[in-house]
Chain A
Amino acid sequence: MAAVGAWRSEGAARWLFIWPTVLFVLFLSLFPLIASVVISFSRLSFHQGGVDLVFVGFNNYEQELFGLERSHFLGVLNPPGPIGWLVLGLTIALTAIAWTRAVRRGRVGAFGLALRLIGGILLIAWVWILVQALTSEGGRPGALIVTFIFVFVGIALQYTLGLGLALLASQRVPGRRFFRVTFLIPLTITPVGVGYMFLMLTDTSKGPLEPIWVALGLRDFTWVTDPWLARAAVIIGDTWAWTPFVFIVLLAAIEGLDHEIHEAALTDGASHWQSFRHIIFPAILPVSTTIVLIRLIEGFKIVDMPNILLGGGPGTATQSLTLQAWIDWNTLNLGRSAAVAYLLLILVTVVATVYISFVRRRATEYA
């Protein structure tokens, strides 16, 4: 009986059920992680009966950051224009002020200050790359900056629209159940399907919207051959696909609020804007920051829409980091593909960490 009792103990359960599961999951996630690190330092070579990984050191990373692929990865970087210098100067000044304040207040230890200093330098370096690509004569953003544009502009639009729709759908209006379901439709379509749908919609010579284009006098106009309009097309498609996700989560958050407070504020003379600004928004802020975090991590992996809609074109205008990795993968340039994937991983980790450390924590405190 004692033996049976021992088997029923928590310790035994841990060994029997938890550890095997943990090890299994670790194996599934760690093995690919380690294998892809090895591949990112290698070049694939085929031979009779197998494949060799030829060690090439940092060559794949070097190609992306300093070699032939630099213009695709970082972009074409030229001396910035006046606006670029202004932005850079402001960034340096604000970073210096923030760091100096942190030192004066004395609340942060030496380690924290060092981290902030490194963070500040990285921020300035990032802005330096941005202004060289975006404000210079002949400059051009690469996959890194294009991905950032897709992520941040896309999330801003998705959050704004999702919040607006959630507020509308939470009102007692006729047919609101129908609208709630209708708003969710894009979420049910695969990203590839969304890509093909927008491919048809943006086809101005024979797509379904062609008559509208012609009626508007835009017969010879296309928006997918201009770099910025093409990026806008990708962002619109991505926004259409992902806004329902933001909408449904925010709707749940809004409907979970105690409406008596909101109604009491209105009764006491608060306007709808004041009620939203001081009651609803702070209440849903923790949920909002979580949604943004999820979309942030997911958004950096954008590939379906730019690939299907534009093949990463015109030129390389809509080539995201994941698409660049995928193109390398397709030609079995696995080393370079893995290197791009790891650079993306580092980027997502840094951005997510900064977001969690600064934005989300403060937003939660504010709420």
Chain B
Amino acid sequence: MSRLRTIAPAAGLILILSGCSPQASPSPSAEAAASGEPTSAPPAESAAPATAGPQGDKFKGINVNILTFNGPQVAEPLQRRAPDWEQLTGGHVNVVAVGFQTIYDKALLDASTGTNAFDAYVFDPQWLGDFTGPGYLLDITDRVKSDAQLEWDDIGPFFRDFNATYNGKVYTIPLDGDFHMVYYRSDLLDKDGVAPPKTWDDYVAVAQKYHGQDLNGDGEPDYGSCIAKKKGAQSYWWIISVAAGLIQGKGTNDGAFFDTSNMNPLFGPNDAMTKALQMYKKTTEFGPPDELNMDVGGTRGLFTTGRCALTMDWGDIGTLTPGTYAQDKTGATITPGWTEVLDRSTGKLVACDATTCPDAVDGVNYAPFASFGGWSGAINAAAPKEQQDAVYDFLSYMSSPAISGLDVTLGKTGYNPYRTSHFSNLQPWIDAGLSEAAATNYLGAIQASLQNKNMVLDMRIPQTKRYQQDVLDTALAQYLAGELDEAGAEQAIAAGWNQVTDEVGRDQQLAAYVASLGVQR
């Protein structure tokens, strides 16, 4: 008995600690900080379409397997909605959720080795280049255009024509829309008469003004800017946003990553990259001390608890604020721009004018970055026909206006707006806890980015993951940590990107890159 008394507490402790499940891997646009989650279930969730009634038999007895991200966002709406769809059709959905870092290799190896354990993949549309070339994905061009449930034309043109389409064929059904934006504490800026940042110099000035002040009334000094700069997480995406306005000035088709004539990296030795790197590093001075080891889970937690004056994020912050300190204290604005732009022939910066930055606003060249693009569902071309039909129907159901219109308003889904109806109907946003002013401001910032003619498209060529998540991420982390200076980082990025390009084939990559920019909007 005495032994039992001794062991019991320790065993209990072991069970508790062993049962502590770790959070998911860092992820784009989907990872919410635990502290940033809404404190109560938003009312919109309960307003989901009713599914009561007799079970349908359209896909009776058909099981489909879907591979996706274990967020828990992204997988959450798929898992939550699956029983409703099963009730409607008689089919069964099995959602297999894995860490963000492993979706790419798991999906590509599944398709390329003929394993075909998955009927569909809900993944990053940036990877289409690796999947469509070898024919691993089903062409759904005709299906989407004749699908009444999906209402294809309601999906924003950018998401239809860029995210979902590759070389003129539709391969994915969008479930999410992603853009980088800057979020600010509207209560503070309004009180002090400070305008939201228009340029990156403004951004630093605002960050500097508020850094070290108590921003949430807890008596402790807070931070001017919070940006997730952890290696192996989202850091490399933000530098693209900072550099974009310095590199791309003549519209989307100009491209921001490579010279469209020879595939030479623009993220290489030039004055634009030097300035962007310096600015990115400068923001660290006004951030939390461990910002270099912080992913978006950390920065979202800090912003929604009122500890940051500024942050940079996808659309997720907007839907995470209800129920937190930052509710109705948050403003969103298009990613800041620059008053200079790169002259690609000389590698020097030149002032923005009607020739160099034709779409500049008040002399500021904005280049909002459609980072990541948004989680999208693609169907395995080698899956049996019955499974293809069933999984297509499920993805179409998930993206349908009635379902997605609610899911994009919930922070826990990790999904952001991408349909025209998502922007035109404010009621679901208000039901989710945003004030009308906050919803209008939030959706307005996304629309301003979407409508910008100089929007930067994310890279979407074969081996994109190596270009960005290996070469760029590593060189950037080394620069931020002081292992490399600006010149060293630029050289490392250019050399690494050139190596990948040459391995795959320069002509092939150039053709893929140019094709990826040829979207008509």
Question: Distance (Å) between the CB of B455 and the closest chain A CB?
Answer: 26
Please determine whether A49 and B134 come into contact, CB atoms closer than 8 angstroms: yes
- Which residue on chain B has the smallest CB distance to residue A318? B231
Please determine whether B481 and A227 come into contact, CB atoms closer than 8 angstroms: yes
Report A213-246 CB contacts with B as 1/0, cut-off 8 Å: 0100001111011010000000000000000000
Q: Take A192-B22, A224-B293, A312-B232 as given contacts and tell me if A177 and B3 are in contact as well, using a CB distance cutoff of 8 Å.
A: yes
Please determine whether A330 and B465 come into contact, CB atoms closer than 8 angstroms: yes
Residue in contact with B470 in the complex, picked from A140, A185, A188, A331, CB distance below 8 Å: A331
Chain A CB within 10 Å, residue with most, of B26, B101, B481:
B481
Chain B CB within 10 Å, residue with most, of A46, A51, A178, A193:
A46
State A48–B131 Cα separation when bound (angstroms).
10
Report A153-177 CB contacts with B as 1/0, cut-off 8 Å: 0000000000000000000000101
Please tell me which stretch of B104-112, B176-184, B193-201, B336-344 contacts chain A, meaning at least 4 of its Cβ atoms lie within 8 angstroms of it.
B104-112
Please determine whether B232 and A313 come into contact, CB atoms closer than 8 angstroms: yes
Please determine whether B221 and A140 come into contact, CB atoms closer than 8 angstroms: no
Please determine whether B478 and A315 come into contact, CB atoms closer than 8 angstroms: yes
Question: Distance (Å) between the CB of B131 and the closest chain A CB?
Answer: 9
Please determine whether B11 and A314 come into contact, CB atoms closer than 8 angstroms: no
Residue in contact with A203 in the complex, picked from B9, B290, B474, CB distance below 8 Å: B290
Please tell me which stretch of B13-21, B319-327, B513-521 contacts chain A, meaning at least 4 of its Cβ atoms lie within 8 angstroms of it.
B13-21
- Which residue on chain B has the smallest CB distance to residue A56? B503
Q: Top 3 closest A-B pairs, CB basis?
A: A315-B481, A311-B232, A314-B481
Asked if B483 is an interface residue, CB under 8 A from chain A, the answer is yes
Residues of A near B495 (CB, < 8 A) are 68
Asked if B53 is an interface residue, CB under 8 A from chain A, the answer is no
Residues of A near B478 (CB, < 8 A) are 315-316
State A287–B233 Cα separation when bound (angstroms).
42
Asked if A84 is an interface residue, CB under 8 A from chain B, the answer is no
- Which residue on chain A has the smallest CB distance to residue B105? A332
Asked if B39 is an interface residue, CB under 8 A from chain A, the answer is no
Please determine whether A333 and B134 come into contact, CB atoms closer than 8 angstroms: no
Q: Take A203-B298, A316-B483 as given contacts and tell me if A185 and B10 are in contact as well, using a CB distance cutoff of 8 Å.
A: yes
State A221–B3 Cα separation when bound (angstroms).
45
List B124-149 residues whose CB lies under 8 Å from chain A: 130, 133-135
List B279-330 residues whose CB lies under 8 Å from chain A: 288-290, 292-293, 298, 301-302, 305, 307
Residues of A near B482 (CB, < 8 A) are 315
**How many of A's residues come within 8 Å of B, CB to CB?**
56
List, sorted by A's number, 13 A–B pairs whose CB atoms are closer than 8 Å. Answer: A43-B503, A51-B113, A185-B14, A185-B17, A204-B290, A220-B289, A314-B480, A315-B477, A316-B474, A330-B101, A330-B470, A331-B465, A332-B105
Q: Take A46-B130, A49-B135, A327-B470 as given contacts and tell me if A225 and B112 are in contact as well, using a CB distance cutoff of 8 Å.
A: no
Asked if A317 is an interface residue, CB under 8 A from chain B, the answer is yes
Asked if A189 is an interface residue, CB under 8 A from chain B, the answer is yes
- Which residue on chain A has the smallest CB distance to residue B135? A48
Extra pairs beyond A177-B6, A312-B231, A316-B481 (8, CB < 8 Å): A51-B113, A72-B474, A140-B483, A204-B289, A307-B232, A309-B293, A311-B233, A312-B232
Please determine whether A181 and B293 come into contact, CB atoms closer than 8 angstroms: no
Please determine whether B20 and A188 come into contact, CB atoms closer than 8 angstroms: no
State A221–B289 Cα separation when bound (angstroms).
6
Asked if B230 is an interface residue, CB under 8 A from chain A, the answer is yes
Please determine whether A205 and B6 come into contact, CB atoms closer than 8 angstroms: no
Please determine whether A314 and B112 come into contact, CB atoms closer than 8 angstroms: no
Please determine whether B18 and A189 come into contact, CB atoms closer than 8 angstroms: yes
State A165–B507 Cα separation when bound (angstroms).
64
Please determine whether B17 and A222 come into contact, CB atoms closer than 8 angstroms: no
Asked if B35 is an interface residue, CB under 8 A from chain A, the answer is yes
Asked if A338 is an interface residue, CB under 8 A from chain B, the answer is no
State A43–B463 Cα separation when bound (angstroms).
13
Residues of B near A195 (CB, < 8 A) are 22
How many A-B contacts at CB < 8 Å in the complex? 168
Asked if A47 is an interface residue, CB under 8 A from chain B, the answer is yes
Residues of B near A317 (CB, < 8 A) are 481, 483
Residue in contact with A50 in the complex, picked from B35, B114, B499, CB distance below 8 Å: B114
State A68–B478 Cα separation when bound (angstroms).
14
Residues of A near B6 (CB, < 8 A) are 175, 177-178, 181
Report A33-70 CB contacts with B as 1/0, cut-off 8 Å: 00000000001001111110000000000000000100
Residues of B near A50 (CB, < 8 A) are 112-114
Report A288-332 CB contacts with B as 1/0, cut-off 8 Å: 000000000000000000011111111111000000000111111
Q: Take A43-B503, A188-B17, A316-B483 as given contacts and tell me if A330 and B289 are in contact as well, using a CB distance cutoff of 8 Å.
A: no
Residues of A near B511 (CB, < 8 A) are none
Interface residues on B, range: 35 or more
Asked if A24 is an interface residue, CB under 8 A from chain B, the answer is no
Residue in contact with B221 in the complex, picked from A43, A204, A206, A219, CB distance below 8 Å: A219
Residues of A near B231 (CB, < 8 A) are 310-315
Residues of A near B216 (CB, < 8 A) are none
- Which residue on chain B has the smallest CB distance to residue A187? B14
Please determine whether B481 and A313 come into contact, CB atoms closer than 8 angstroms: yes
Asked if B83 is an interface residue, CB under 8 A from chain A, the answer is no
Residues of B near A19 (CB, < 8 A) are none
Please determine whether B7 and A181 come into contact, CB atoms closer than 8 angstroms: yes
Asked if A196 is an interface residue, CB under 8 A from chain B, the answer is yes
Question: Distance (Å) between the CB of B126 and the closest chain A CB?
Answer: 13
Asked if B469 is an interface residue, CB under 8 A from chain A, the answer is yes
Asked if A197 is an interface residue, CB under 8 A from chain B, the answer is yes
Chain B CB within 10 Å, residue with most, of A189, A309, A314, A317:
A314
Residues of A near B18 (CB, < 8 A) are 188-190, 193
Report B94-110 CB contacts with A as 1/0, cut-off 8 Å: 00000001101100110
Residues of B near A331 (CB, < 8 A) are 104-105, 463, 465-466, 469-470
Please determine whether A49 and B469 come into contact, CB atoms closer than 8 angstroms: no
Residues of A near B134 (CB, < 8 A) are 46-49
Residues of A near B293 (CB, < 8 A) are 202-203, 222, 224-225, 309-311, 313-314
Question: Distance (Å) between the CB of B236 and the closest chain A CB?
Answer: 11
Residues of B near A196 (CB, < 8 A) are 20, 22-23
Residues of A near B101 (CB, < 8 A) are 330
State A151–B196 Cα separation when bound (angstroms).
50
Report B422-447 CB contacts with A as 1/0, cut-off 8 Å: 00000000000000000000000000
State A330–B23 Cα separation when bound (angstroms).
19
Asked if A357 is an interface residue, CB under 8 A from chain B, the answer is no
Residues of B near A48 (CB, < 8 A) are 134-135
Asked if A182 is an interface residue, CB under 8 A from chain B, the answer is yes
Residues of A near B251 (CB, < 8 A) are none
Asked if B269 is an interface residue, CB under 8 A from chain A, the answer is no
Residues of A near B102 (CB, < 8 A) are 330
Question: Distance (Å) between the CB of A303 and the closest chain B CB?
Answer: 12
Report B461-499 CB contacts with A as 1/0, cut-off 8 Å: 001011001100010011011111000000000011001
Question: Distance (Å) between the CB of A312 and the closest chain B CB?
Answer: 6
- Which residue on chain B has the smallest CB distance to residue A226? B481
Q: Take A46-B133, A189-B18, A206-B302 as given contacts and tell me if A333 and B466 are in contact as well, using a CB distance cutoff of 8 Å.
A: yes
State A192–B112 Cα separation when bound (angstroms).
29
Question: Distance (Å) between the CB of B491 and the closest chain A CB?
Answer: 10
Residues of B near A188 (CB, < 8 A) are 14, 17-18
